[in-house]
Structure 1
């Protein structure tokens, strides 16, 4: 299992904020155009795409606000800082995607049961404009998405919306050429299916962080084994290894100092902390020292107090 620490290359915060504001503006304008187009053309797929596009704009607003909150410094009330605001924002955005996906499934089924006429030419034109805007938004957020689960959630909103626009263009074209109005709710189902698949695939990692799970890029057993290899260490137990946020992990454990080495306890503790940072990238390490003669009886490796 991989255990190397990942180094992140951050986009300048101010430049990133400007990109998000630009992406929000174009998405809000597009949403209005798509809703009007969907109403006048009678296309459910276009309204579905507009609803999804509106969720893109909201997701970008949530992402932008979370980015600003996350930059606040640590305080007495929030000793780990506010970086998890971005994780919470990602959870909100993925949950919203799931709700939208389920709503679109319901609407598509109702349209299958009660078909309605669709003006294909208007669908194709507005969906083509939507695709261009989706691609612009994706380009604005792509570099930031590699470094943040928060921006990645917003970015995936837009990628799925771009695919939705392609599907709407195909549906409108088929309606123009063959009069197949049933393609409209079928495309809506496909868009909804993709949204749900994408959201469920990503939301697990976000929940894992919020549930204080261990970092997925680390093998927890290797962390204990690595510490035990340091001279004077008899082992670690009652360990807690968790992600503070997307980029930082923390370790808290009882460290047993080998008999006869208690005089070097401070040096041993410093060596363990340095090894944890160098090997695994764990900068937040809290160790409760125990001498081997008075160590916990039959301790568990993970959890406990």
Structure 2
């Protein structure tokens, strides 16, 4: 069995940006909780609750980021590279849980509206926009390259949008005394959280369950490898993400001739080049065979 790694240059995620975001969100969470209680604004309290979930999600993401950098050992042969996928899953799930709670509270408040002090709501919403907006900018680049960072980024982005909605609601309440807008905006925020949270949850779940990546067509991989001279048939194929940086292929390879190991090394190098250049697969684990009697299907139930 031959196992080889080809490392593509990847964007290096900066954990320090997460730490800055954690500190900023602790400050805004405390301010919004106090302001929400004093003003009576459910939207502001919901925004603070979401900010608190941001703090937790950012801490989870930060810890996962650090764990994923640990080296492999005899006890952890892959290291802890999947820690970030678990963090993304937990963060996505927390988005949905928070959203469901907000919907419950918003419906209750809609039928039993409270008078709200919009002035305080406006100032704290503006503060939330500034703090979360800065945090979003800190994580934007990392979010484009890492699912864990994207989960933290989405928490912050949706909270920034929530603060915008709260600000608009505060202005409407200040000038027109439309207090029910507080509940409506909370519902809109919650629905948006469910949409983005569900999408992230599905992506993280697929990676954790070792689904074939959506951009990968296994039949095309087999066709490309089978065209290489010396290959008779690539079969028993598995393709999965260990994490977002490492795309693995494991397969059996029927050789067309009974070749020496040194010749197989040359053949393997050609296969690795095709898989890397055409499919961005950078970890290849192939079992060489010659006239071995075993299932020859592309997909074989282990």
TM over 0.5: yes
Structure-1 separation of matches of 2:265 and 2:8: 29
Q: Deviations over 1:127-161 (max 9, x none)?
A: 11111101111111111111211011101111111
The aligned counterpart of 2:276 is 277
The aligned counterpart of 2:238 is 240
SS in structure 1 opposite 2:122? helix
Correspondence 1:141 to 2:143:
no
Correspondence 1:9 to 2:6:
no
The aligned counterpart of 2:289 is 290
Output aligned runs, 1:137-216, within 5 Å.
137-216=135-214
| 1:261 CA drift (Å) | 4.5
Correspondence 1:60 to 2:62:
no
SS in structure 1 opposite 2:212? coil
CA contact (8 A) 1:240 1:303 kept: no
- Structure 2 residues not aligned, in runs of 5+: 1-6
Please report the TM-score for the alignment, with normalisation by the length of structure 2.
0.92
The aligned counterpart of 2:4 is none
Q: Deviations over 1:171-190 (max 9, x none)?
A: 11111111111101011001
Structure-2 separation of matches of 1:7 and 1:218: 20
Structure-2 separation of matches of 1:172 and 1:30: 17
Structure-1 separation of matches of 2:141 and 2:268: 39
- After TM superposition, the structure 1 stretch with the greater mean CA deviation from structure 2, 102-111 or 19-28, is 19-28
- After TM superposition, the structure 1 stretch with the greater mean CA deviation from structure 2, 277-286 or 265-274, is 265-274
The Cα RMSD (Å) is: 1.7
Structure-2 separation of matches of 1:90 and 1:294: 42
Q: Deviations over 1:49-79 (max 9, x none)?
A: 0001111111111111111101001112222
The aligned counterpart of 1:255 is 253
CA contact (8 A) 1:256 1:295 kept: no
Distance 1:54 1:100, change over 3 A: same
CA contact (8 A) 1:232 1:261 kept: no
Aligned length: 294
Output aligned runs, 1:86-125, within 5 Å.
86-125=84-123
CA contact (8 A) 1:249 1:283 kept: yes
- Structure 1 residues not aligned, in runs of 5+: none
| 1:247 CA drift (Å) | 1.3
Correspondence 1:301 to 2:291:
no
Q: Deviations over 1:85-108 (max 9, x none)?
A: 111101110000000000000000
The aligned counterpart of 1:267 is 266
